[in-house]
C-alpha cells in the first residue's frame, strides 16, 4: 500500500528502501549483500540496457563475453589496479562438494583444492587484456571496440539495494587503440554517451567532470565521470569512463606494430554503468506516494482504469484505446481487476510510477471526455476523447521533459559557490547540502583532510568550467578553478 | 584462411574446433574450461537471445535476476537435486585477498573465511524457490512465470567450446503454478517454444521426447527434451523443460492457499537453453569451407563484394543496394577493403557463413546483372539488377528453408529401426550412426548396461509415437514402444 511509505522528510533512507520494496523492484536475498531483482525492477533495467546497447552499437561497439573468473595472479600484474581491486572479492578455492560422511548434507571436498585460486571478477580489465594479447598484433587490428554485459562481485560491507550490492549487473566497455589521442577521444565519447543517456532517457541531469587522482579508477590515467544530485542533496556517481593509457597493455604485454612497422604498446579505455542507475532513477524523481518513472524508461507508460468497475462497454472502449495507443508505440495496460475499487488502483498505479492514468467512466464517456491523470505533478483533467491519443503521446513527452526540468531546477537550488571553509561547512550542515563549488589546492592531502573533517568528497573537476584563480578553502594555497564537492553515495 | 580447416571426413572434432576458431566465434581462456565468446560468436548468440526472449514474453513470461551464489546448505535440501548437482562446482570460501607479506603479489586472507561456503550457481532452482517462499501466499500470486538470463558454472572435466564449458550463458525459466495440470502444460509449452525456435530460426530439426528416469533432471518428475542430430551422427540435447511437480516447493516449504482457502504446495517447472545451441548450429549446417548460418540468425545476411576492387562507381552502386536492402530489413555489409582480391574475400565470407554474396563488377553492371552466390549450395548465378532486392529477400527465405530441409533429409537418412542387438551394434559401428529406434524394457538397469556396452544412450521416448509392442533388444522383455538411442554430445 502506498500509505506505508516513510515520508522523505522523516527518513530519506527508509523512504528509498520502502519504494524499492513496495514497488516490487528488488529484495535482499539469502546471500549477504546480493539482491534479487524482481520483474518490475528488471523491466526498468532491461529498458536501460536496450537503449544503452543501441547507443554503444551506434558508436561502433560490439558485444562479447569474457570469463567470470580471474586467476589470482592476474590481479598482481597491474600495481595500482591490485591496490584498488584485489581486496574484498569472492575467492573460489575448491571445485567439488561431496556428501558429508557424517550425513550432514554436503561438504567441501578437501581433495578438490584448486592449484591457483580464482577470483570472481570485480571488473574485467585483467582477464580481457590477457585475452587481447592474442587478438592484437598490428595496427590493422585496431581499434578494438568491445563491450560486455555481465555480473560482477565486490564484497561490500555495507550494502543497499541497487546502490551498493555485492553482486551487481553492469556493462563494461574495453577498447584498444593505436594512439593516445584516439583512446582519449573514446573515453570522452563514452562519457558523453552516458551523459546523453542519463539526461535524455533517465531525465537525470548530470555534471560532466574529471576525477581527482585520489578518486580515479585503479590503473587509469584519468577517470571521466557523470555525477547526479539526489533529492537528499547527496551526489551519485552514475557512470565512469577511464583513459587507461598504456598501463594495462604494459602489464599484459600487448603490443602492436604500427604503420611504420614499429612495435608499440596499445592504448586502452574502459567504461561502465550498472544497476546502480536504477537507484539513481528512483532517488531523482520519486515522491512520498511512490515511484515516479520517466516515460522513456517506464515498462508501462499508460494505465487505463475503468470507473467504477470493468464492464462490457468500458472493456470495449479500453480495448479500442489500447489498440490506438499501441499503434503509436505507447506501452499501455488495462487494470481490469474487478475486485478492487478505483481509489485502491490509483494508489497502486502511483506507487508503481506509471506516468499517465486514463480513467474511463460511463458518465464521462457520454459527455465525450476521459479523465487524464499525470503521475509527475499529480494533477487530473478531463480531456475530450476526440484526439485523446495525440494528447497522451504529447503528454508523455511533456512529462519526460518536466521531470528533467524539475531535476535541473532542484540541482540549481542546491548548488552553492563558497569561498571559505566556514561557508563550506555551513552548507554541508544543511538538510539538503547539494553540490558545492569551491577552490582546492590540488593536493590529495588536502582532499583527504576535507573528507575526514566533513565526509564531503571531490565529485569532479568540471570539464566545462572556465579557469578562475582562487584560494583553497582549507589551506589558502592557490587554485586554478573550482571543483565540485558533495557528500556522496 | 578457409583452406586450413580440417575436413569433416578426416577429423570431425578438429573440423568443429577449426570452424569455431577460424570463424572467430570463441576461444579458450586463461581459466580452465571457461571460454571467451568473441564478437562474431556473440552476435549469433545475441540474435538467439533476442528471438527467444520475444517468444518467452509472447507466452506471458517476464525476466528477473537472482543471485550468482547459492548457500551451500541449499543444495542439501532437495535430495535428488543434490545428487545431480552438488558435485563439480565452484566453491567460494573466502572474501578477501591481501598483499603477500613476503612480497609475492596477492594471497588469500586466511582471516576472511566465510562462515558458510557459497556455490557459484550450476542452476538456480534452489535459490529461486527459497525466494518464491516470500512471494507466494495465495492462488492470486500464481502462476508466477519468470525467466532469467544468466551465467552458470559446472566444473566439467572435459570441455569443448560452446558444447560443454565450465561457465556458460543460458536462460532458465522458473515457474510456479496452482495445479499439477498447469505445470505440465507449461513444461510442454516451453518444450514446444524451444522446438519452434530450433526449427524455424536455427533450421535445425528436433525430436520431441521425454527423458528416461535415468536421464531426467535431478529433482524433476519428468524432463521434456528436444534432440537434434549432428553431421557426425551424434545427438545433441538442445533444450530441456522440466515438470518439477511439488518437489522444490516441498524442499523449500512454498505453500499457497487455494481458492477454497486450503494450503497446498506449489507446482513448478524449469526450462533452459544455453550457448550450447551455438555449437549445435555450427554442427548442423557448416561444411569444409567454414560456417554456414541460417539467414534468420546470421549477423550479416548479405555481403556485397566489389569486383575486382572498390571504386567510386561501384561504391555508389553498393551504397544504393545497401540502402534498398536495409529498407527491406536485410542485414547487409560492404566488403570495401582495397588490399584484398575478390578470391580472398569470397573465401573469408564463406568461412564466416554469410548466406548471400553479391558480386558487383562494372562489366556485369553494364549488362544489367549482378552475380549472386549462395553459401548453402555454393552456387552462383547472374541475376538482373532489376528486381534484385526482391530476389535477395526471397533467396534468404529459400536458404532458410533449404537448410532445414537438408537437415531433415540428413536425419531421415540417418534414422534406423532395429529389432535385435546385433543390428543395433552394427548401426552404431557405422561412421555416422544417427538415431536408432529400438525397443527397450523400460528398466534403468538395461539402459545402463546398453550404455556401458555401446556408449549409446536413450535420447528420449518420442512424444508423437503410437504404441507398438515389441521386445527389448537386450533382454527380450516386453516393451510398449520404441525409444530413440544415439551416441550423444
Ligand atoms: Zn531467506
Ligand atoms: Zn593465456
Percent share of chain B, pLDDT over 70: 98
Residues A66, B93: C-beta atoms closer than 8 Å:
no
Q: Enumerate residues 6+ apart whose C-beta is below 8 A from A187.
A: A222, A224, A241, A242, A243, A269, A271
Residues 42-61 of A with CB under 8 A from B: 42-43, 45-46
Contact A154, B102 (CB under 8 A): no
**pLDDT 10s digits, A200-223:** 999 999 999 999 999 999 889 999
Is residue B158 scored above 50 in pLDDT? yes
State how far the alpha carbon of A414 is from the alpha carbons of A408, A411, A420, A485, in Å: 10, 5, 18, 12
pLDDT exceeds cutoff 80 at A407: yes
Closest by CA to A450, choosing from A253, A293, A230, A215, is A215
User: What pLDDT, on the 0 to 100 scale, is given for residue A381?
Assistant: 96
Q: Give the tens place of pLDDT for each residue, B361-385.
A: 999 999 999 999 999 999 999 999 9
Mean pLDDT of A138-155: 97
CB of B89 less than 8 A from some CB of A: yes
Q: Is the pLDDT of residue B157 over 90?
A: no
pLDDT at B75: 86
* pLDDT band, very low/low/confident/very high, at B103 (cuts 50, 70, 90): confident
User: Closest-lying ligand to the alpha carbon of A253?
Assistant: 2
Q: Are B92 and A91 within 8 A, CB to CB?
A: yes
Domain with CATH 3.40.50.800 in chain B: 302-396
CA angle, corner B340, sides to B338 and B345, nearest 5?
Answer: 115
Is there a contact between B228 and B198 (Cβ–Cβ < 8 Å)? yes
pLDDT at position A465, please?
79
- CB-based burial of residue B297 (10 Å sphere; 0-12 exposed, 13-18 middle, 19+ buried)? buried
pLDDT of residue B269: 98
Which regions of chain A carry the CATH code 3.30.930.10?
12-91+121-285
Query: What pLDDT digit, counting tens, does each position of B116-125 carry?
Result: 999 999 999 9
What pLDDT is recorded for position B2? 44
Q: Enter the CATH code of domain B415-486.
A: 3.30.110.30
Q: How far apart are CA A188 and CA A196, in angstroms?
A: 12
Q: Is the pLDDT of residue B302 over 80?
A: yes
In this complex, the residue of A70, A95, A99 whose CB is nearest that of residue B88 is A95
Note the helical H segments in B274-387. Answer: 276-285, 312-327, 342-351, 362-366
Three-state secondary structure string covering B168-208 = EEEEEEEEEECCHHHHHHHHHHHHHHHHHHHHHCCCCCCEE
Residue B3 pLDDT > 70, yes or no? no
The pairing of beta strand B435-439 with beta strand B478-479: unpaired
φ, ψ for residue A180 (rounded to 5)? -65, -40
- B63, B73, B118: residue with CB nearest A105: B73
Q: For residues A432 and A233, give the distance between their C-alpha atoms in angstroms, rounded to a whole number.
A: 4
Mean pLDDT for chain B overall: 95
Closest CB to B31 among A36, A69, A91? A69
pLDDT the model gives residue B86: 63
Per-residue pLDDT of A348-404, as tens digits, reads 999 999 999 999 999 999 999 999 999 999 999 999 999 999 999 999 999 999 999
Q: Which of A211, A197, A400, A379 is nearest to A296 (CA)?
A: A400
Distance A158 CA to ligand 1 centre (A): 18
Cα(A131) to centroid(ligand 2), Å:
7
Nearest to B139 by CA among B21, B244, B262: B262
Query: d(Cα B134, Cα B136) in Å, to the nearest integer?
Result: 6
What's the pLDDT score for residue A448? 98
d(CA B132, CA A182): 49
Give the closest of B30, B39, B146 to A127, CB-based: B30
Give distance in angstroms: CA of A276 to centre of ligand 1.
Answer: 23
Confidence of residue B99 (pLDDT cuts 50, 70, 90): confident
Residue B349 has pLDDT above 60, yes or no: yes
Task: Kindly provide the b/e burial profile for residues B332-345, where b requires at least 16 CB atoms within 10 angstroms of the residue's own CB.
Answer: bebbeeeeeebeeb
| Across A239-249, average pLDDT | 97
B430 upstream amide cis, omega within 30 of 0: no
Secondary structure class of A219 (helix, strand, coil)? coil
Query: Which pairs with CB-CB distance under 8 Å and at least 24 residues apart come from A115-118?
Result: A116/A71, A116/A72, A116/A73, A117/A72, A117/A91, A117/A92, A117/A93, A117/B108, A118/A69, A118/A70, A118/A71, A118/A72, A118/A91, A118/A92, A118/B31, A118/B90
Burial of B436 (0-12, 13-18, 19+ CB in 10 A): buried
Whether the pLDDT of residue A3 is over 60: the answer is no
Q: Give the confidence band of A78 by pLDDT, cuts at 50, 70, 90.
A: confident
The grid coordinates listed for B447 are 539402459
Mean pLDDT throughout B316-331?
A: 97
Contact predicate A25/A40, CB 8 Å: yes
Task: Please report the residues numbered 228 through 257 in chain B whose beta carbons come closer than 8 angstroms to any beta carbon of chain A.
Answer: none
Q: Measure A390 CA to nearest chain B CA, in Å.
A: 27
Question: How would you classify the pairing of strands A482-486 and A478-479?
Answer: unpaired
> Mind listing the pLDDT tens digit for each residue in A291-312?
999 999 999 999 999 999 999 9
Q: Number of helices and strands (H, E) in chain A?
A: 13, 27
CA of B126 to the centre of ligand 1 (A): 11
pLDDT tens for residues A183-202? 999 999 999 999 999 999 99
Q: Among candidates A440, A467, A476, which has minimal Cα distance to A456? A: A440
Q: Is the pLDDT of residue A90 over 70?
A: yes
Query: How far is the C-alpha of A256 from the C-alpha of A237, rounded, in Å?
Result: 34
At how many degrees (to 10) do helices A276-285 and A39-58 cross?
Answer: 110
A213 SS3 class: coil
Q: What is the pTM of this model?
A: 0.96
- Alpha-carbon gap, residue A88 to A155, rounded angstroms: 5
The pLDDT value recorded for residue B466 is 78
pLDDT at B264: 97
Just give the CATH number of A12-91+121-285.
3.30.930.10
**B39–A62 CB contact, under 8 Å:** yes
pLDDT band at A7 (very low <50, low <70, confident <90, very high): very high
Find the mean pLDDT for residues A158-175: 97
- CA–CA min distance A482, chain B (Å): 37
The predicted model gives B195-200 an average pLDDT of 98
- Predicted local distance difference test score (pLDDT) of residue A405: 98
Class of domain B302-396: alpha beta
User: What band does B407 get if pLDDT is binned at 50, 70 and 90?
Assistant: very high
The three cell numbers of residue B222 are: 519428468
Hey, which residues does B65 pair with through a beta bridge? A37
Largest separation between any pair of C-alpha atoms in chain B:
81
> Range(s) for CATH 3.30.110.30 in chain B?
415-486
CA B137: distance to chain centroid? 35
Mean pLDDT for chain A? 95
Q: What pLDDT, on the 0 to 100 scale, is given for residue A102?
A: 82
pLDDT of A2: 44
Contact, A289 vs A2, CB < 8 A?
yes
Amino acid at each position: 500500500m502506498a500509505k506505508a511509505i516513510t515520508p522523505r522528510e522523516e527518513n530519506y533512507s527508509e523512504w528509498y528502501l520502502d519504494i524499492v520494496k513496495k514497488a516490487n523492484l528488488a529484495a535482499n536475498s539469502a546471500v549477504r549483500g546480493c539482491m534479487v531483482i524482481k520483474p518490475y525492477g528488471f523491466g526498468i533495467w532491461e529498458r536501460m540496457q536496450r537503449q544503452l546497447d543501441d547507443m554503444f552499437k551506434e558508436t561502433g561497439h560490439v558485444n562479447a563475453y569474457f570469463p567470470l573468473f580471474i586467476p589470482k595472479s592476474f590481479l598482481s600484474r597491474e600495481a595500482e589496479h591490485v591496490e584498488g581491486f584485489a581486496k574484498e572479492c569472492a575467492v573460489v578455492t575448491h571445485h567439488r562438494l561431496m556428501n558429508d560422511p557424517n550425513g550432514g548434507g554436503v561438504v567441501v571436498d578437501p581433495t578438490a583444492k584448486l592449484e591457483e585460486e580464482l577470483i570472481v571478477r570485480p571488473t574485467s580489465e585483467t582477464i580481457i587484456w590477457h585475452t587481447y594479447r592474442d587478438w592484437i598484433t598490428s595496427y590493422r587490428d585496431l581499434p578494438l571496440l568491445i563491450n560486455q554485459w555481465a555480473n560482477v562481485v565486490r564484497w561490500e560491507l555495507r550494502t543497499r539495494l541497487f546502490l551498493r550490492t555485492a553482486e551487481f549487473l553492469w556493462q563494461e566497455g574495453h577498447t584498444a587503440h593505436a594512439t593516445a589521442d584516439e583512446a582519449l577521444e573514446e573515453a570522452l565519447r563514452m562519457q558523453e554517451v552516458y551523459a546523453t543517456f542519463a539526461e535524455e532517457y533517465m531525465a537525470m541531469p548530470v555534471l560532466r567532470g574529471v576525477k581527482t587522482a585520489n578518486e580515479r579508477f585503479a590503473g587509469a590515467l584519468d577517470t571521466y565521470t557523470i555525477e547526479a544530485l539526489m533529492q537528499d542533496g547527496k551526489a551519485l556517481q552514475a557512470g565512469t569512463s577511464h583513459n587507461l593509457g598504456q598501463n594495462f597493455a604494459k602489464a599484459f604485454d600487448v603490443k602492436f606494430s604500427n604503420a611504420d612497422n614499429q612495435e608499440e604498446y596499445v592504448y586502452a579505455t574502459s567504461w561502465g554503468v550498472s544497476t546502480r542507475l536504477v537507484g539513481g532513477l528512483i532517488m531523482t524523481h520519486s515522491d512520498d506516494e511512490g515511484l515516479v518513472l520517466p516515460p522513456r524508461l517506464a515498462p508501462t507508460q499508460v494505465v487505463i482504469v475503468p470507473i467504477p468497475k470493468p464492464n462490457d462497454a468500458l472493456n470495449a472502449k479500453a480495448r479500442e484505446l489500447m489498440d490506438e495507443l499501441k499503434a503509436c508505440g505507447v506501452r499501455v495496460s488495462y487494470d481490469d481487476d474487478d475486485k478492487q475499487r478505483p481509489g485502491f488502483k490509483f494508489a497502486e498505479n502511483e506507487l508503481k510510477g506509471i506516468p499517465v492514468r486514463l480513467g474511463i467512466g460511463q458518465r464521462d464517456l457520454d459527455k465525450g471526455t476521459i479523465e487524464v491523470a499525470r503521475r509527475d505533478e499529480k494533477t487530473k483533467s478531463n480531456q475530450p476523447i476526440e484526439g485523446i491519443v495525440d494528447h497522451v503521446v504529447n503528454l508523455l513527452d511533456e512529462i519526460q521533459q518536466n521531470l528533467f526540468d524539475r531535476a535541473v531546477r532542484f540541482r540549481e537550488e542546491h548548488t552553492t559557490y563558497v569561498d571559505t571553509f566556514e561557508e563550506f561547512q555551513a552548507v554541508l550542515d544543511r538538510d539538503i547540502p547539494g553540490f558545492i563549488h569551491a577552490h582546492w589546492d590540488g593536493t590529495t592531502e588536502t582532499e583527504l583532510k576535507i573528507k575526514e573533517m566533513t565526509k564531503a568528497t571531490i565529485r569532479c573537476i568540471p570539464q566545462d568550467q572556465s579557469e578562475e584563480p582562487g584560494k583553497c578553502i582549507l589551506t589558502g594555497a592557490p587554485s586554478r578553478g573550482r571543483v565540485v564537492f558533495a557528500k556522496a553515495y
